[in-house]
Structure 1
Amino acid sequence: MNETTDPNNQILLMAIIAFYWALLGSWGQRQSPPGEDKAKRDDAATEQRTGRNENTSPGDTPLDVIRKIDPSFDPAPFLAGAKAAYEVVLLAYASGDIQTLKRLVGPEVLDVFERAIAGRREREEMLQLTFIGTNEAKVVDALEENGTAEIAVRFVSDVVSVTRSADDAIVAGDPQQIIEMIDTWTFACETQSRKRNWMLIATEGG
């Protein structure tokens, strides 16, 4: 996928988004741009997550924390929706689809993504991202603070990522090489909200 929007790709993106909201709608600012070649990741901003609910015990697992917030929480549909959102956001970021990103990410994440996309356009570069699949999606952290629940998910996925210049020369990446990406993304929602849509508020690569 590159900066040129393909209608068929847009249909696919919106179908996945609908699936994502259907799964996560029953329960919605820290980050680095996803999908870039690993050599460029040092240029991205990242933040570490800290803090836990005062009612959380030191021995609690992330799922214990979530179930204290919502005893009926089912991790399977949540992770299925998170995986769908992960792919949508990666592809939208690669294609420069700001409108799709606005529906799925918080304002601070969006700001970082928009600046990275604008930088590519100024350099007349295109990020071509082929998403092979997600090999792992695992809840690794959770907290509830000030009426907001946050869940961190570790993704391990395979992609082909190539950045090209205006004359189609390869700036970074290899179109013949599948690379493994490991990301931890944090999703959040307001616990008292009746709609309870999850939003991506943080990304961390590594």
Structure 2
Amino acid sequence: MNETTDPNNAILLVAIVAFYWVLLGSWGQPLPRSGEDKAKRDDAQTRQRTGCVENTSSGDTPLDVIRKSDPSFDPATFLAGAKAAYEIVLLAYANGDIQTLKRLVGPEVLDIFERAIAGRRDRDEMLQLTFIGMREATVVSVLEEDGTAEIAVRFVSDVVTVTRSANDAIVAGDPQQIVEVIDTWTFACETLSTKRNWMLIATDGE
């Protein structure tokens, strides 16, 4: 996908993610990075917490432990929704589509994205992004505390990115080069809420 993608297709993709997120709610840069969010998350995961899903028995994965506490949770559906959200957020960021980002990311991440998009606009630059495919999506950590669940997913994907100036000169990237992108994104929702929408609250790249 790229910046010339049919708007109807983009609307359809957002609808697909919304559908997945509704199902998930039934349980219990080229993106800019949020270093502060990562530091908070890393610090939180080093402390002992009541209700934190960190210690799993042999053979259990973090998502298996969540499913034990709530049998309605579907790990496959969660990952499908997370992968769809990843692709849509990448496209929305490249296109400067703030409205789509508002539906899928939390306030802190949205602020970072908005500032990066505004910077491109001020420089009169355009980011073209083509999503080639997802190689891998793996849950790396799960945290539950005080009615909030956080799931960190490591994505490995292939993309083509090119930043162009107003006169179409290439500022960064290569339109002929496929780049492997490795990101860890953290999604969160309020488990005690009747409307449980998963939101992207932190991003980190390798």
* Interval of TM-score (by shorter of Structure 1 and Structure 2): 0.7 to 0.9
What residue in structure 2 maps to residue 31 of structure 1? none
Question: Partner letter of residue 99 of structure 1?
Answer: Q
CA shift digits 1:17-47 (9 cap, x unpaired):
111121121337xxxxx335xxxx6xx4422
Q: Which residue of 2 aligns with 1:164?
A: 164
The answer as to whether partners of 2:34 and 2:202 remain within 8 angstroms in 1 is: no
Query: What stretches of structure 1 move > 6 A for 4+ residues in a row?
Result: none
Question: Residues 87-102 of structure 1 correspond to what in structure 2 (within 5 A)?
Answer: 87-102=87-102
- Percent identical pairs in the alignment equals 67
For 1:27, the equivalent position in structure 2 comes to 24
Deviations 1:45-99 (A, max 9, x none): 4223233542346532422442355232111111111111101000000000001
2:50 maps to which of 45, 50, 54: 54
What letter is aligned with 2:19? A
The 1-side partners of 2:180 and 2:136 are apart by 11
Report the counterpart of residue 153 of structure 2 in structure 1.
Answer: 153
Counterparts of 2:190 and 2:201 in 1: how far apart (Å)? Answer: 12
TM-score, normalised with respect to structure 2: 0.85
Aligned residue in 1 for 2:7: 10
**Separation in structure 2 between the aligned mates of residue 22 and residue 107 of structure 1, nearest angstrom:** 22
Unaligned runs of 5+ in 2: none
For 1:58 and 1:139, the matched residues in 2 are separated by 13
Task: Give the count of matched residue pairs.
Answer: 191
Higher normalized contact order (CA 8 Å, seq sep 6+, divided by chain length): 1
CA contact (8 A) 2:126 2:164 kept: yes
Task: Summarize the Cα distance change of 1:100–1:126 in structure 2 as closer, same or farther, 3 Å threshold.
Answer: same
Q: In structure 2, how many angstroms separate the alpha carbons of the residues matched to 1:200 and 1:55?
A: 21
The 10-residue stretch of structure 1 (126-135 or 51-60) with the greater mean CA deviation from structure 2: 51-60
2:93 is paired with a residue whose SS is: helix
Question: Cα distance 1:69–1:164, how it changes in 2: closer, same or farther (>3 A)?
Answer: farther
In structure 1, the residue matched to 2:177 is 177
Deviations 1:131-154 (A, max 9, x none): 001111111111011111011111
Q: What is the root-mean-square deviation of aligned Cα atoms in Å?
A: 1.9
Letter in 2 for 1:201: I
Instruction: Point out where structure 1 has 5 or more consecutive residues left out of the alignment.
Output: 29-33
TM-score (norm 1): 0.85
